[in-house]
Amino acid sequence: MTDKFIQFILKNNLFLPHEKILLAVSGGVDSVVMADLFKTADYNFAIAHCNFKLRGSDSDDDEVFVGELASRLGTKFFSESFETTAFAKGRGISIQMAARELRYSWLENIRKQNGFDWIATAHQSDDNTETILYNLARGTGLKGLQGIPLKNGNIIRPLLIFSREEIEWYLKINNLEFREDLSNQEDKYIRNKIRHKIIPILNEINPSLHKSVRRLSDISAKTNRLLDYFISRDLNNHVYQRDGKTYIPVNLILEYPEREIIIYELLKDFGFQSPEIEDIAIGLEKQAGKLFFSKDYVCLKDREHLIISRKKGDVKTEALIHQEQKEVQFSQGLIRMRAFDIEENPDFKTDSNRAYLDFSLLKFPLKLRNPIDGDFFFPFGMSGKKKISDFLIDMKIPRTEKKNIWLLTSDDKIVWVVGFRTDNRFRVKKTTQKILEIKLLDQTG
């Protein structure tokens, strides 16, 4: 097993023999075996341990055990205690996420301060299987199917070649002591449910499950590298920057099949996720002026480009329209208004981007806003009221598009689902004398 360990490190160029490695050791089976393999292979290493103070005296006993292990192996020992629960509460994150943040931040500081080249964690092949299944359950693309990377910045995973079974065998024949974390047996954590309930069933179907998943992980990584090469060679030189914005030619994307994948690769660094990518792909050949949002960026679908810019403050979710206003700009485009007597244009015709309303029924200022739960209106041409959510379903508007839907309201009553349907209560009737015409224009119109 030591030879297999050394060959894996050499084959994947994880580190050079003379480099200094900081081992993250919890005291569990995997990290104890990793430390012993580093010692047997005669590599230059030290041990670091995080005490997260989550298991009472057991956490302190783990720290003592790892310190004694470092002493037996004749290497330097670093340790730190954290108030993990308080940190998680202060940041509004889970205990697991807090422990991860604290761990990697501290390890990196130790690495820099003491001249280590790499940080090694004891993730093994079964961990990789669990990660990929977890990613599949949450929904993932190629990146998630790659699982745990061998290298990630200054972090390396030299045990990914081994299964849990192999590691336990090594532990047994070498009579190595370890600390058992009983929380690993609890099914309240999703990963433990995958480990204890899902993987045993999959192993019945395919006894070579971990080998198959490793193969999938390898194929996904190679496919992703090939895709990166293709994007770099054929697409990136057509993307340009101007005035702090990124311009991506729409026609370039339309030349290729599987446009969602192309868009994802071009926009992934801006934080756009699958729902937004799907919406952008659908909107490529539609009207210009549509906006799509990630956490920090806005993507404008112009006539010829996707234009990516960083958000400037919060995106407006409402706007007031006063009676004297002629137009108002908002995320979906430009609204232009005019009021006229019905005698001026008795034969007007409506369309989805134009609304004609009985002026006398409106109370200014009107308000443009996004839908909220419970919104309803009385759709023109239909009898009775309808929830906005049900109306959007009937119109086959994806749930992810809800943030791009705007409502025009008067005195909290919905007047127009902008770009779709007006409300029957504000329709032009035979008794109407004055009409408000509202036109929706795209951002470039």
Q: What is the pLDDT of residues 77-117, one digit of tens each?
A: 999 999 999 888 888 888 888 998 999 999 999 999 999 99
Q: Is the pLDDT of residue 443 over 70?
A: no
Greater pLDDT, 139 or 80:
80
Superfamily holding 2-221: HUPs (3.40.50.620)
- By CB atoms closer than 10 A (0-12, 13-18, 19+), residue 346 is exposed
Q: What pLDDT sits at residue 183?
A: 59
Can you give the pLDDT at residue 347?
A: 65
Rounded Cα–Cα distance for residues 282 and 404 (Å):
14
pLDDT of residue 182: 60
CA atoms within 13 A on the CB side of 167: 25
**pLDDT for position 398:** 64
Lowest average pLDDT, out of 93-97, 261-265, 347-351, goes to 347-351
Q: Report domain extents, the chain.
A: 2-221, 241-310, 318-441
Per-residue CA distances from 185 to 196, 248, 282, 342 (Å) = 8, 50, 45, 75
pLDDT digits (tens, 9 = 90+) for 275-331: 788 888 888 877 677 778 887 888 888 888 899 988 765 555 678 888 888 888 776
Q: What pLDDT does 445 receive?
A: 40
Phi/psi class of residue 381: alpha, beta or left (left: φ > 0; alpha: ψ in -120 to 50)?
Answer: left
**Other beta carbons less than 10 A from residue 110's beta carbon:** 17
Q: What is the pLDDT of residue 23?
A: 97
Least confident of 63-67, 99-103, 262-266, 344-348: 344-348
Residue 422 Cα to chain centre, angstroms: 36
Contacts of the segment 80-85: beta carbons below 8 A, 24+ positions apart: 80/49, 80/50, 80/51, 80/106, 81/51, 81/53, 82/50, 82/51, 82/52, 82/53, 82/106, 83/53, 84/52, 84/53, 84/54, 85/53, 85/54
pLDDT, residue 214, reads 85
* Prediction pTM value: 0.61
260: left (phi over 0), alpha (psi -120 to 50) or beta: alpha
Largest CA distance in the chain: 98
pLDDT at 255: 86
Does 33 have pLDDT greater than 70? Answer: yes
pLDDT at residue 440, rounded to an integer: 87
pLDDT digits (tens, 9 = 90+) for 172-208: 999 999 888 765 655 566 778 888 888 899 989 998 8
Provide the pLDDT for residue 400: 54
- Summarised one tens digit per residue, pLDDT across range 35-54 is 999 999 999 999 999 999 88
Residue pLDDT, tens place only, 384-414: 899 998 898 888 776 656 667 889 999 999 9
